[in-house]
Chain A
Amino acid sequence: MSTFIGDWHALVVLFVAGVIPNQIWRMLGLWFGGGLDEGSELLVWVRALATAILAGVIAQIVVQPPGALASVPAVLRYGAVAAGFAAFMLSRKSIFAGVAIGEVILVGGQWWLG
């Protein structure tokens, strides 16, 4: 059982560094959005903000990749996104086509590079 739980200190760190910094934003959203009207003009701006911040998260992973992804050359990472986007558009916006082609380019390219 002790190997399942590990050390308690790590669980405290999880809450302080992971859970609280993350949940603050959701609870702020609950406090703020719980009273907003669906047709409100403010929501158009809020949705644009959510989309643009998410775009930043996407760009960050590709531009400054974490862990094992960092070993893939930049040109291959950008190429995978571009090829995936082309497949997404050509397939009349199929998420599956975009993700699958992007992954094929990434894995195929990395394998070919050795």
Chain B
Amino acid sequence: MALPPLDSSQWHSSLRAFLWGVRSVGSTILALVLFATYLGIGALAHDTGFSLAWTLASTVFVWAGPAQIILVSTLGSGATILQSAIAVTVSAIRLFPMVVSVLPMMRTPKTKRRHLILVAHLTAVTLWVECHRFLPQVPRERRIAFIQGLGCGLVFLSVVANTIGYLLAANLSPLFAAAILMLTPLAFLFSTARNCRELADGIALALGLALYPVATLLNSGLDILVSGVVAGTIAYGVHRVRAKVIA
């Protein structure tokens, strides 16, 4: 599906832009991955003994696959609320730099912070990747509406998948459950790899993967944060050195 050209009258209304965002759910392969992942989260929540309302509320209000998987599996294995909260918050740290890097792409001089609250909430890997792909094709003053449409469409799709997964849970084989859990790392890896535009991004990805097992040896409980900050900063350092060499 192609979006209308930047000067098209289709972009004159915010509602239209929102609807183009919703329709764009159909033109991203990541929507399919999200559907299967949330099918799996629905089944996992069912098997762990959570209600359907709890599962749907976690999707709408948490809206981050890895955090939800961690929450369900830690609470299910008898961890305390504090232990779960810590595990969830460590996995969610990435949302901070993601939101910081996404918002400037859609801000205009007239934008107030409160206009960006919903976009910040909807920001997760899928939206982060798709912002870089779609937004150059959307006029700046309609980007917030477009992304709200895309994000809400993805949440809706995931809620449907959650419900189906929850209801089918008893019929899912362990092999199928393993395959669905594997979708998250595969889809995150390849969508991020495709999203790398600067050298710094590629180095950050490769180094971040390589340093995580090293960071686990420290046993700090903050492994992802340690390896992420070290790898990201080295990648940025390489970017700076290279910029100086070229200049």
Residues of A within 8 A of B (CB): 3-7, 10-11, 13-34, 36-38, 40, 43-69, 71-72, 77, 80-81, 84-85, 88, 93, 95-96, 98-99, 102-103, 106-107, 110-111
Which of chain B's residues has its CB closest to A39's CB?
A: B104
What mask results when residues 59 to 102 of chain B are scored 1 for a CB within 8 Å of chain A, else 0?
00111101111110101000001101110110111111111111
By a CB distance below 8 angstroms, the chain A residues around B232 are 45, 48-53
CA distance A93 to B103 in the complex (A): 26
Residues of A within 8 A of B236 (CB): 44-45, 48
Complex interface: chain A residues within 8 A of B182 (CB)? 61, 69, 72, 77, 80, 102-103, 106
Task: Check A67–B44 contact: CB distance below 8 A.
Answer: yes
Residues of chain A with a CB closer than 8 A to B201's CB:
47-48, 51
Give complex CA distance A11, B188 in Å. 29
Whether the Cβ atoms of B104 and A26 lie closer than 8 Å is no
Interface of A, secondary structure class, is helix
Binds A, one of B4-12, B144-152, B209-217: B209-217
The B interface is mostly helix, strand or loop, or mixed, namely helix
Across the interface, do A81 and B186 meet the contact criterion of CB distance under 8 Å?
A: yes
- The chain B residues found within 8 Å of chain A, CB to CB, are 29-30, 33, 44, 50-54, 57-58, 61-64, 66-71, 73, 75, 81-82, 84-86, 88-89, 91-105, 107, 113, 116-117, 120-121, 123, 125, 128, 174-175, 177-179, 181-194, 196, 198, 200-201, 203-209, 211-213, 215-216, 223-225, 227-233, 235-236, 239
User: Given A56-B212, A58-B189, is A13 in contact with B97 using a C-beta cutoff of 8 Å?
Assistant: no
